[in-house]
Structure 1
Amino acid sequence: MGNKNGQSLTSLALRKFKKNFWGVLSFVVIALMAFIAVFAYVFSPDKTRNANWGDLAIHSKPPGFAVTMLHFEKDERAFSDYFFGSEVPSRKIAILDYKIQGDSLTYWEYAADPSLAVSKTIALKSFGPHITPEVFNKDFISKQKFILGTDSQGRDLLSRLIIGSRVSIAIGFVAVFISLLVGIFFGAIAGYYGGRVDAFVMWLVNIIWSIPTLLLVIAITLALGKGFWQVFVAVGLTMWVEVARVVRGQVMSIKQMQFVTAARALGYNNRRIIINHILPNSMAPVIVISAANFASAILIESGLSFLGLGAQPPVPSWGGMIKDHYNYIILGKPWLALAPGIAMLLLVLAFMMVGNALRDALDVKAE
């Protein structure tokens, strides 16, 4: 199909979408966040699995905090660590100062009050044979800066934020994929066959629709068990009803059109008519709903994590980070909860703006 200028509806929609500044900007934000999530351990300052290295001596430090680190072994990483994180965290400790005297090293562990710092002396050869002060300063001493500060466990907040983006973005993709599979199936058969099939599907949709989403997700999560993938499946199984209602309405309208009647006259079976002829012409509103469901899935997962039913520790998630630090807002350290909250706000807002832009772009009547 095309318009009077010979342009396809897809090219028209794409051209209209490109003209929407906020839609394009939101799409860029989503693409950037997805790229960062995929290569999270490349961008994360902390390369340990789940960015879980921490030192309680430097807990709850403000953004920009810098400290000297003493490494007890050379900081070497395998190539896979940049994609999956290092299972064995590097042995290091935050220190205030150190000095080398002969064959021994004396260092003072970091303390908020320098007068309370504890000093320890160890043999320099414990770092390796023939270690000179110059080699020691180069390989075993570093200055580490925490751009967003540290959390209540002394972990790098920026690293936890970056690794946590994997959970929020993955829950969107998986939950929306599950909701599309289930919703399109039930919506298509209800709209095409009608009668008792339609009555049963709508009865099921109304039952699920009447249950508060969070309570339904909690029930499914408890049935499947706590875990990473269980949450994804639980969220997906609660979001298909809206897809089913929209697909049902679209199918009921499209099945009356002449090209469907012609397909029946040619002897095509119902499955071929639904999959090849009806569904491709009913996807526009489904795409818009999917963008909104992305945002809803992120918020639901965050709510579950806040309640302790989402991604389980030590896996970082934005909802879990807010849960761990929301009380710090009144303790003068609001950035610990605001950082994941703002990240979540930007991602959800971006998906909503893309959904609005797609709705306008796919509105053929407006052209």
Structure 2
Amino acid sequence: MTTATTRTTWRRLKKNKGALIGIAIIALAILVAVFAYLIAPDGSPNANRMVVEIGGQRPGYSQLFLQLPRARKVRSAGFFNRLFAGDEDKYQYIPITNYQQQGDSLIIQKYIDEGLTERVALPISQTRWQEGAAKGDFKVVTKKFHLGTDKYGRDILSRLLVGVRVSLGVGLVTVLISLSIGVMLGAMAGYFRGRTDDIIMWFINVIWSIPTLLLVFAITLVLGKGFWQVFIAIGLTMWVSVARIIRGQVLSVRELEYVEAAKALGYSHTRIVLRHVLPNVMGPVMVVAASNFASAIVIEAGLSFLGVGVQPPQPSWGLMIKENYNFIITHNPMLALAPGFAIMLLVLAFNMLGNGLRDALQVKE
């Protein structure tokens, strides 16, 4: 697209309030994904701090903890390591209900379960423990879990924030793979037509006839379970719609005068396609890319829920629903509803952006 076309598209897009709201939500999600470990209450790798005694607690739950230094010394991670992978906990967290110091011992009531505690005496020196102090071997702190804890006692809010990375990552990788394959095959089919078009369309129809989830299952079983495998598997199943759209657009554009002029000047087919055809058919592709981004998030969540997507302990919104869905019919449904609402909000944002792009680019369906 030319600079003038881009400016016109942006002016139209700014008039669409739904698209602007979608852009704002997506921008916020990107910021959260980048700084997740810095803003999450649990900044440990994968937000995987387990305190099983407080599992399944409601939103707003507060608990008193005794921090004990780990047996081995844990080095502090550098800023960039902490930004990308989190910082390993230097303490173990023991939930307590109350404590008191008696001579050289710290007497605690260790929290075991609702209404059940255990009295424990820890030998310490008075100079090595201070309540809430930054230094010393022992430290007592109060932590609040704004969205509650899962069945393993992990902070739901922290895992929700870190899980944004998986959802945005799968959408980005899926769109890149689907655009790369779809644009190439669609452009070849539409530009060369004839036998090339017949072969590519036959292949597209075969892939189109296979249910998406079934194809993803097959690819996942071949590539194995894991973080990158599920990204690639979803990407390899979503290029078909891009290819069909590109083919239709190229079929109409290849007959225009400027393409015929480029052929008369002796330009190569590669140059004509890359520099004269594709830049003028990318509007619909941008719309379908936004739609594919939203679809990829939903598919990844479904695969993780079924156990063939992202594997624990890495936080994924679909995996969080799987781990906590039994709480929906019991006393604490928010543990499963929170990641469900997050999926819904992010998918809605990309759909609103796609609708805004469709109107701004005046794409006909």
* TM-score, shorter chain, exceeding 0.5: yes
Give, in whole Å, the separation in 1 of the partners of 2:362 and 2:232.
Answer: 32
Give the partner amino acid of 1:246. I
The alignment partner of 1:276 has SS state of helix
Distance apart, 1:364 and its partner CA:
7.5
Residue by residue, what CA displacement relative to the aligned partner does 1:232-274 show, whole Å, maximum 9, x if unpaired? 0000000000000000111111111111111111111000000
The alignment partner of 1:71 has SS state of strand
Alignment correspondent of 2:333: 334
Give, in whole Å, the separation in 2 of the partners of 1:310 and 1:83.
Answer: 21
Distance apart, 1:276 and its partner CA:
0.7
Give, in whole Å, the separation in 1 of the partners of 2:321 and 2:90.
Answer: 25
The alignment partner of 2:97 has SS state of strand
Give the partner amino acid of 2:40. S
Q: Does 1:122 align with 2:119?
A: no
- TM-score of the aligned structures, taking structure 1 as reference length: 0.93
Alignment correspondent of 1:204: 203
Is the Cα contact below 8 Å between 2:108 and 2:120 reproduced in 1? yes
Q: Does 1:131 align with 2:105?
A: no
Distance apart, 1:77 and its partner CA:
4.4
Is the alpha carbon distance of 1:326 and 1:231 closer, same or farther for their aligned partners in structure 2, counting shifts above 3 Å?
Answer: same
Distance apart, 1:222 and its partner CA:
0.3
Residue by residue, what CA displacement relative to the aligned partner does 1:309-329 show, whole Å, maximum 9, x if unpaired? 000011110001111111211
Q: Does 1:102 align with 2:103?
A: yes
Is the alpha carbon distance of 1:147 and 1:76 closer, same or farther for their aligned partners in structure 2, counting shifts above 3 Å?
Answer: farther
Aligned residues, how many?
A: 357
Structure 2 residue corresponding to 1:22, chosen from 18, 21, 29: 18
Distance apart, 1:8 and its partner CA:
2.0
Equivalent positions of 1:213-362 (< 5 A) are 213-362=212-361
Give, in whole Å, the separation in 1 of the partners of 2:145 and 2:15.
Answer: 39
Distance apart, 1:332 and its partner CA:
2.1
- TM-score of the aligned structures, taking structure 2 as reference length: 0.93
Distance apart, 1:88 and its partner CA:
4.9
Distance apart, 1:137 and its partner CA:
8.6
Structure 1 residue corresponding to 2:38, chosen from 38, 42, 50: 42
Residue by residue, what CA displacement relative to the aligned partner does 1:290-343 show, whole Å, maximum 9, x if unpaired? 000000000110110011000001111000111111121111211011000000
Is the Cα contact below 8 Å between 2:226 and 2:310 reproduced in 1? yes
Percent identical among aligned pairs is: 52
Is the Cα contact below 8 Å between 2:132 and 2:141 reproduced in 1? no
Give the partner amino acid of 2:330. L
The alignment partner of 1:144 has SS state of strand
Distance apart, 1:35 and its partner CA:
1.0
Is the Cα contact below 8 Å between 2:284 and 2:363 reproduced in 1? no
Distance apart, 1:29 and its partner CA:
0.3
Distance apart, 1:86 and its partner CA:
2.3
Alignment correspondent of 2:168: 169
Give, in whole Å, the separation in 2 of the partners of 1:24 and 1:136.
Answer: 46
Alignment correspondent of 1:85: 86
CA RMSD of aligned residues (A): 2.0
Is the Cα contact below 8 Å between 1:47 and 1:82 reproduced in 2? no
Alignment correspondent of 1:52: 48
